[in-house]
């Protein structure tokens, strides 16, 4: 990423930091790009704030008022607390890197605080809605093989809890003729084995048999109309069509199928640690969000059915 409004020393440090993120932290390219945008926004603020592009000396001398001015500017621009929290995390990472490399030592960054971000609860579909989506998507395409592709993809997202990028990154050689697992590559290029239900595997084989392209083991499993690896936007568009057909909420996206997998597994008594491994979460705290989904569901049932809840409401 180029175009950082800063002196060459800062630009070089950013490039070294991004290389470190890629190769040492094994961050995905999307993550590196997102951090780059955050840093570009901060440096643009500094260039306006100081009146000239900052160098390493300027980064070293920034104080708490400078950082608070940056937060105030983001707030005035209407940026969300969630995006600001990520931007602050980016700054902490970058300044920590500068400190380790002996390029700048700024203590004020450690006192930088953002407003608490409200904890979001993953929006899952009900089991009936998820299964209806899988069953209905095939009929939305005029091309039978494309309909089978969409059904197989949605079944895999719901049946194995994959991210859309993980599912679309699978090659044909990774799909077993028979078996109960597929090896996928997740965030940070980390591989994991995910379970595949027989019904999901049958849907994949049904699609492969119908696909008009004779692709090898190293070619993509899910392809578009021209035989190239399927674009996520196409899958998202098809899910929007399912949403209209079944009158599902706007939160019914391909990623909601992953949320549904985890929520329904937890509701069925699944172990949180095992669900963490299946989803490929680095931190258990990320997986624990699904306990809030299940708690909310139980509260809804309680409020609707429990006699005491009814009397309290009255």
Q: Which residues are catalytic?
A: 163, 187, 255, 258, 281, 290
Six token digits for residue 91: 């700054």
Give φ, ψ of 4 to 5 degrees. -75, 125
Residue closest to 245 by CA, chosen among 127, 136, 126, 123: 136
57 Cβ neighbours under 8 A, 6+ residues apart: 104
Structural contact between residues 3 and 40, judged by C-beta atoms closer than 8 angstroms: yes
Structural contact between residues 129 and 248, judged by C-beta atoms closer than 8 angstroms: yes
Can you tell me which residue has the tokens 């969300």? 80
Report strand pairing: 181-185 vs 191-195: antiparallel
Structural contact between residues 191 and 183, judged by C-beta atoms closer than 8 angstroms: yes
């Amino acid at each position: 990423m180029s175009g950082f409004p800063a002196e060459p020393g800062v630009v070089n440090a950013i490039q070294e930091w991004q290389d470190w993120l890629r190769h040492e932290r094994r961050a995905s390219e999307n993550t590196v790009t997102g951090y780059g945008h955050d840093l570009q926004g901060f440096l643009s603020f500094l260039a306006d704030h100081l009146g000239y592009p900052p160098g390493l000396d300027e980064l070293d001398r920034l104080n708490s008022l400078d950082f608070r001015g940056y937060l105030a500017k983001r707030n005035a621009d209407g940026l969300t607390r969630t995006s600001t929290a990520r931007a602050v995390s980016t700054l902490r990472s970058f300044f920590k890197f500068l400190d380790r490399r002996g390029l700048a030592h700024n203590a004020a960054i450690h006192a930088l605080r953002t407003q608490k971000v409200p904890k979001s609860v993953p929006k899952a579909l009900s089991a009936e809605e998820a299964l209806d989506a899988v069953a209905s998507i095939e009929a939305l395409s005029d091309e039978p093989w494309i309909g089978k592709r969409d059904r197989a993809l949605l079944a895999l997202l719901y049946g194995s809890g994959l991210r859309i990028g993980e599912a679309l990154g699978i090659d044909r050689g990774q799909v077993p003729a028979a078996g109960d697992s597929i090896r996928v590559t997740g965030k940070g290029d980390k591989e994991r084995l995910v379970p595949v239900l027989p019904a999901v595997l049958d849907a994949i084989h049904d699609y492969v048999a119908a696909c008009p392209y004779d692709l090898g083991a190293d070619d993509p499993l899910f392809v578009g109309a021209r035989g190239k690896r399927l674009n996520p936007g196409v899958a998202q568009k098809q899910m929007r069509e399912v949403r209209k057909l079944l009158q599902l909420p706007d939160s019914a996206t391909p990623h909601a199928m992953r949320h549904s997998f985890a929520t329904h597994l937890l509701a069925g008594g699944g172990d949180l640690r095992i669900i963490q491994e299946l989803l490929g979460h680095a931190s258990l705290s990320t997986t624990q969000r699904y306990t809030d989904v299940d708690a909310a569901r139980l509260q809804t049932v309680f409020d609707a059915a429990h006699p005491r809840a009814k009397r309290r409401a009255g």
